[in-house]
Amino acid sequence: MQFDVYGIGNALVDVQAQVSDEVVQKTGFEKGIMTLVDDPQQKEVLAAISDLPLNRCAGGSAANTIVGIADFGGQAAYCGKVAADEVGEFFLNDMRKTGISIDVPPTTAGQSGTCAIMITPDAQRTMITNLGVSSSLAPNDVDEEIVKCSSYVYIEGYLFTNDTTKAAAYRAIDLAKKHGTKIAFTASDPFLVNMMREEMWELIKGPVDLFFCNEEEAMSLTQKTDPIECASEIHKHSENVAITMGARGSIVMNDGQPLSVDGVDTDAVDTTGAGDMYAGGMLYGITNGLSWQQAGHLASHAAARIVSQLGARMNKKFTQSEIEELANH
């Protein structure tokens, strides 16, 4: 079977709740960013939101992107590790029901990873992540045959917070180079850029064919303040670059020219998964016959649809006629 994209990432179950600023303050975590925690800390956070209405779905950055590709009608596969527990079973079922191929066997030791997402009235999301066994994803979990049969391998930057998952990411990169599969990489988070700036530049200058980041990550990476200058600097070393700028749209660099992609007006409810869904729209587009401008336009609309609702999954999927209409816009 041929796949458009094979995603490699931390397999997490997202537990989302709409909360007040006061609830976030009480947990003691910094608002608006992702924080890694251990099991006892995660239990405290989940207890703090347990009385609120909760939304649960399979998540993690690359998983959100892969689900987006499948929702558009693309052929997608995913590589991530869960435990043989209720949370892990939920993750696998939730992914497979969208038509995603996932064949990494669950581990019998430990517990599956979770991400508690607290969404405040300003649509900001504060993510508290306990990686669980997702951090045990190893090089031998990457399926060479799927890499070979995919147009792109998509790797989330979060894998680089751990030596084992980093080795799995490099295994996917090596196999992609071996089989002529293109490599897409997402910076994932500003803290990661600060943590691994030198290594990220090595990836950009080396194997990465398509680099995704947001404006803050791009500025941190390049030490420049103008988004077009940031994109141009990264594009000197990576064939394709996409920088998202929230409601202001995005900049796509391909073949030496910056393409400006307009944002889409929407009432933001929750920014969870906006960048992930943008990457999903872009990757679906470029692997299914759209131009970079068309793919960026689709990606922008996909991100807008995500922020206008609660959670990182599209409640209302794009129909093929909508996709064609957006492509011809």
Mean pLDDT calculated for residue range 51-73: 93
Mean pLDDT of the chain: 92
Residue 34, CB-side half-sphere exposure with 13 Å CA sphere: 20
For 3-10+60-108+133-327, CATH number?
Answer: 3.40.1190.20
Mean pLDDT calculated for residue range 5-33: 93
What confidence tens digit (pLDDT) does each residue in 224-237 have?
A: 999 999 999 999 99
What confidence tens digit (pLDDT) does each residue in 148-184 have?
A: 999 999 999 999 999 999 999 999 999 999 999 999 9
Mean pLDDT calculated for residue range 100-125: 93
On the 0-12 / 13-18 / 19+ scale of CB atoms within 10 A, 217 is: buried
- Grade residue 268 by pLDDT with cuts at 50, 70 and 90: low
Domain ranges in the chain? Answer: 3-10+60-108+133-327
**pTM (2 d.p.):** 0.92
Mean pLDDT calculated for residue range 33-56: 91
